Amino acid sequence: DQQVKQNSPSLSVQEGRISILNCDYTNSMFDYFLWYKKYPAEGPTFLISISSIKDKNEDGRFTVFLNKSAKHLSLHIVPSQPGDSAVYFCAAPDNTDKLIFGTGTRLQVFP
Amino acid sequence: ETGVTQTPRHLVMGMTNKKSLKCEQHLGHNAMYWYKQSAKKPLELMFVYSLEERVENNSVPSRFSPECPNSSHLFLHLHTLQPEDSALYLCASSRKGPGTGVDGSEAFFGQGTRLTVV
pLDDT in tens, A94-107: 876 678 889 899 99
> A45 to chain B: which residues are within 8 Å by CB?
2, 108-109
Burial level of A50, CB count in 10 A (0-12/13-18/19+)? Answer: buried
Question: Average pLDDT over chain B, rounded to whole?
Answer: 86
Do B99 and A32 make contact, defined as CB atoms within 8 angstroms? Answer: no
Each residue's pLDDT tens digit, B82-104: 999 999 999 998 887 655 555 55
User: CA-based Rg of chain A, rounded to a whole angstrom?
Assistant: 13
Each residue's pLDDT tens digit, A20-41: 999 999 999 898 999 999 887 6
Between CA B50 and CA B95 the distance in angstroms is 10
Residue B105 pLDDT: 60
Do B108 and A100 make contact, defined as CB atoms within 8 angstroms? Answer: no
Residue A78 — φ and ψ, nearest 5°?
A: -150, 130
Do B108 and A46 make contact, defined as CB atoms within 8 angstroms? Answer: yes
Between CA A17 and CA A25 the distance in angstroms is 26
> A9 to chain B: which residues are within 8 Å by CB?
40
Beta bridge partners of A49: A34
Average pLDDT over residues B26-36: 89
Between CA A32 and CA A66 the distance in angstroms is 10
SS3 B70: strand
Between CA B55 and CA A6 the distance in angstroms is 28
SS3 A83: helix
